[in-house]
A and B are shown apart, each in its own frame.
Chain A
């Protein structure tokens, strides 16, 4: 069965970086993409970007351009999302989700990770 298992909760200081991992199993990793979505406490969902696990192509939300990097390690079927220059408003649960397409983001997600809480606080 398809599973996406994310790394554990993080506490970071403003200005620091965080790298969240998402390990996939139960399917051929390189045949799909991975998108990242975050949710601030008590708030709605925000799409952050997408990476192709096939060729590494990315597309990031303009709001996060320059601060976010998404990568994959096909040898371990793991996707990573790094966010730099953290601010208090980056405090959120970060989710990875499997995108049905490998060459472009189809935008709808049938499988999600369990979420990773990132808290930014001095």
Chain B
């Protein structure tokens, strides 16, 4: 199985901050990576697919980059609605599609 790691596991930030979350894969996954935002009690929400493609309707302050084994999700100016947990997910290999452990973004 391809293992996904994320750093940091928790991030404390203020409204207006630039925030960067890193996701690493245990082997190359090309650009087959998605990012999701999840709030308590809610289903995940797709933000980014294919490493850098912004899902329709997602604010442009979210951006994704990277390829191979290292990827980043950047929030250019953190908004109150952005406090949540963020997961990366690889879909390069079926065996199985795996998610990272999550990064919780909370209020500083």
Contacts and interface: CB of A to CB of B under 8 A. Distances in A.
A27 interface: no
A61 interface: yes
Given A44-B102, A45-B89, A107-B91, A112 B97 contact: no
A107 B34 contact: yes
B42 to A, nearest CB: 8
Contact of A46 (B34, B91, B94, B99): B99
B83 interface: no
A108 B9 CA distance: 22
A39 to B, nearest CB: 9
A44 B101 contact: yes
By secondary structure, the B interface counts as loop
Given A44-B99, A47-B99, A108 B46 contact: yes
Contacts of B96: 47, 49, 61-63
A107 B43 contact: no
Interface in A47-67: 47, 49, 59, 61-63
B100 interface: yes
Given A45-B87, A112-B43, A112-B44, A105 B100 contact: no
Contact of A110 (B55, B87, B101): B55
Interface string A64-97: 0000000000000000000000000000000101
13 contacts: A44-B87, A45-B38, A63-B96, A95-B43, A97-B43, A105-B97, A107-B32, A107-B91, A108-B34, A109-B44, A112-B44, A112-B45, A113-B43
- In the A-B complex, the 10 residue pairs with the closest CB atoms: A107-B91, A112-B43, A61-B96, A108-B34, A108-B49, A45-B99, A47-B97, A110-B46, A107-B97, A47-B96
Interface of A: 35, 37, 44-47, 49, 59, 61-63, 95, 97, 105-110, 112-115
